[in-house]
Amino acid sequence: MQAFDLYAILPELVLLLATCFLLVASVYVRERVPTTLGIEQDIFHTPRGVGFVYFFSLLLLIYLIFAFVGRMGDVSLVAMNGLFQSDPLSNLLKACSCGAVLVSLIYSKQYLSDRALFRPDFIVLILLALLGQFVLISGANLLSLYLGLELMALPMYALVAMRHNSEKSVEAGIKYFILGALASGFLLYGMSMLYGVTGSLDLIEIFKTVADPRVNHLVMAFGLVFIVAGLAFKLGVVPFHMWVPDVYQGAPTAVTLMIAGAPKLAAFALLFRLLVNTLLPLMGDWQPMLVLLAILSLIVGNVTAIAQTNVKRMLAYSAIAQMGFVMLGMLSVFDDHAFSASVFYVITYVLTTLGTFGLLMALSHKGYDCETLEGLKGLNKKHPWFAFIGLVMMFSLAGIPPTVGFAAKLGVLEALVDAEHTFLAIIAVMASLVGAFYYLRVVKVMYFDEPSHEVTVSGSGFAKGLLSLNTILVLALGIIPAGLMSVCLDAMRRTLLGS
């Protein structure tokens, strides 16, 4: 191992060591459980408690954000004998992932405390999943990509089923595990076929071999089908979306946010690494598959969401449709503007998702989860500022100006028109019009319906202030999107040049 290898993996190494430290320290953390008499007692004791683990994790995430932002100006490099790559795009996505996890932890603190889930093991599992996202985003080898994918997924399975006294949570965890294992099997089988044809696990070597006209393209095509199917499972797009609504609804809202936020960035990185960096010579085979998946996701996701009264389930179908938009940006394979539009879209979607689920957790309290449209009725009459937050988030998801969702959708549509995919752009616009119905229905419920119960807002003042800042950022990036767009474009250009 050389010096630049250590430099390349230093943030990941810091995260790993810090997570191991917190895992060991959590043995001494005081945990309170109810006895048969209904009285809580301590089963572990330490003077520090879970607050130390939480505060240490926040400091760690802030350090990682600054570390990755500082590396965005570095040149692309491949380290660890071709297993790991560090480039501007990976550093941008990692910084955004850390920011998403940081905000998610702050939003979730009160929600988890009210449900006896605010424990060190919860935070440790989140950090391990974040480490898996780092490995996945920077994978330069089929083996490292798969290991990163599994390291990200396994803690998520445990998090979904962590609320043991909830049948829905346990059921969602089992479904997520079984279907996730099936998706991993598809992906691994496709990778094994790639290895059988090319004789290498290295992405660069696979790209060179696939470009050779003498290679067996029939076997490659079969392997590609399994890879795209596995990617579709991880992205949660139609027809491999069956796990998304059940997991979103069954998991605690804090865990749903962890699934709906940062992992979307890692899934996009996996899509980019495999299809663009590695299998670009086979674009004639995978482009039609992406078109089909994107169209089905836009139509099925938006149409099915109309029938939902559970907000988390509605947001699950919304996520399916949003991922269809992301895939549309991957169709212009020789246009860095199109790729950067997809990066901008997925980053701003995660930003909006953070605000949406942050609002749901703020409106939840001990013994009550705000998950249905009924719980949002008359919010403007009791808490007008939080109703405005909900309005901004719904407008952004629908793509209505002046929110950032409009700028993100417009960027993808422009890329489609420039690539002469006008028909796809029309389908995307029509699907967005359908989607606007159920987003505006949420706004109507908050502003025009009478409250059906007492609406209260929980959470610390800091969490409420961060939620307000999140809302302002969604508006500001919608009015002035050029700054973030230029960052995404520069990162994509330098990454493509470096590869």
Q: What's the gap between Cα 489 and its chain centre?
A: 20
- Output the pLDDT for position 44: 40
Residue 7 has pLDDT above 70, yes or no: yes
- The mean of the pLDDT values for the chain is 86
How much is the average pLDDT of 225-236? 86
- Output the pLDDT for position 1: 61
Residue 431 burial by Cβ neighbours in a 10 Å radius (0-12, 13-18, 19+): buried
How much is the average pLDDT of 312-335? 84
Residue 43 has pLDDT above 50, yes or no: no
> In the structure, what pLDDT confidence band is assigned to residue 53 with cuts at 50, 70 and 90?
confident
Alpha carbons within 13 A on the beta-carbon side of 385: 10
> In the structure, what pLDDT confidence band is assigned to residue 104 with cuts at 50, 70 and 90?
very high
One-character DSSP codes across 74-106: SPPEEETTTTEEE-HHHHHHHHHHHHHHHHHHH
Tokens of 204: 């660069």
Distances (CA, A) of 154 to 16, 157, 180, 320, 374: 16, 5, 9, 22, 34
How much is the average pLDDT of 397-407? 91
How much is the average pLDDT of 382-407? 91
Contact indicator for 287, 333 with CB cutoff of 8 Å: yes
Contact indicator for 97, 137 with CB cutoff of 8 Å: yes
pLDDT in tens, 263-298: 899 988 988 888 888 888 888 888 888 889 999 999
Helix 253-260 with 311-328: angle, nearest 10 deg: 0
**Number of continuous H segments (helices) and E segments (strands) in the chain:** 20, 4
> In the structure, what pLDDT confidence band is assigned to residue 335 with cuts at 50, 70 and 90?
low
Domain locations in the chain as residue ranges: 3-498
pLDDT in tens, 115-165: 888 888 889 999 999 999 999 999 888 999 999 999 999 999 999 988 877
> In the structure, what pLDDT confidence band is assigned to residue 182 with cuts at 50, 70 and 90?
confident
Q: Tell me whether the omega of the peptide bond preceding residue 263 falls within 30 degrees of 0, making it cis.
A: no
pLDDT in tens, 195-217: 888 888 888 888 888 877 777 77
- Output the pLDDT for position 45: 39
